Amino acid sequence: GAGVSQSPRYKVAKRGQDVALRCDPISGHVSLFWYQQALGQGPEFLTYFQNEAQLDKSGLPSDRFFAERPEGSVSTLKIQRTQQEDSAVYLCASSLVVAEGYNEQFFGPGTRLTVL
Amino acid sequence: AQKVTQAQTEISVVEKEDVTLDCVYETRDTTYYLFWYKQPPSGELVFLIRRNSFDEQNEISGRYSWNFQKSTSSFNFTITASQVVDSAVYFCALSGVRDDKIIFGKGTRLHILP
């Protein structure tokens, strides 16, 4: 009974490096969400996929942030030319189906990114 | 626009005291969902409760209770007879129906002192 998994759990990057964060959603889950949680703040929405389609990327803070889910399962969040303000925990969540009514999101443990 | 406000940044109480965490929300949706999550020091988000906007009935689960009042756009959370293990950051959150992204408040850090 695997839940949402994320890797790596911790990542340290030097300013200017590119990073890639991986999310493995629960098998069969259609929707996948990325959130960013800065220190001392609540999680903030970044982007949302339904299968392989990225339906909402309104929360991505800059064009340095890019997310993909090419086969509708695993997703990668890529941050180019990392900056110190990118330091945060990146949370991934998945839900079973998009429909009327509520589709519960299951959260992964997060990846803590520290940019030096 | 949707917004969740948790005015209490940090609360400290002595073990066995009752404590209420406040949450006020804003939304133009007529149908929406409200949540509470717990984030212990280990960092994972632990789901506590979900409430549909049409269901204003208060809920009790063990030492936890929730008071949903649409008239004041509030969804407060009370822990009765608090325990040290309740120490964590608690987030109130809001979601629409069509747009499933969850809008979180900034959280309330709760310290239960032995």
Nearest by CB to residue A43, choosing from B52, B100, B104, is B104
The answer to whether A45 and A113 have CB atoms below 8 angstroms apart is no
Q: Which of A20-24, B22-26, B42-46, B105-109 has the lowest mean pLDDT?
A: B42-46
Radius of gyration of chain B (CA): 14
> In which element (H, E) is residue B91 found?
strand B88-96
CA distance A89 to A111: 5
The structural domain count of chain A equals: 1
Q: Do B99 and A101 touch (CB under 8 A)?
A: no
Q: Assign residue A67 the CATH number of its domain.
A: 2.60.40.10
Q: For residue B64, which phi and psi values (nearest 5 degrees)?
A: -100, 140
Judging contacts by C-beta atoms under 8 Å, the chain B residues touching residue A40 are 106-107
Domain that holds residue A38: 5-115
B50 touches chain A (CB under 8 A): yes
Q: What percent of chain A has pLDDT over 90?
A: 87
Q: Domains of chain B by range and CATH?
A: 3-113 (2.60.40.10)
CA distance, residue B39 to nearest chain A CA (Å) = 10
DSSP state of A26: P
pLDDT tens sequence across A88-112:
999 999 998 756 667 788 999 999 9
- How would you write A50-102 as a 3-class SS string? ECCEEEECCCCCCCCEEEECCCCCCEEEEECCCCHHHCEEEEEEEECCCCCCC
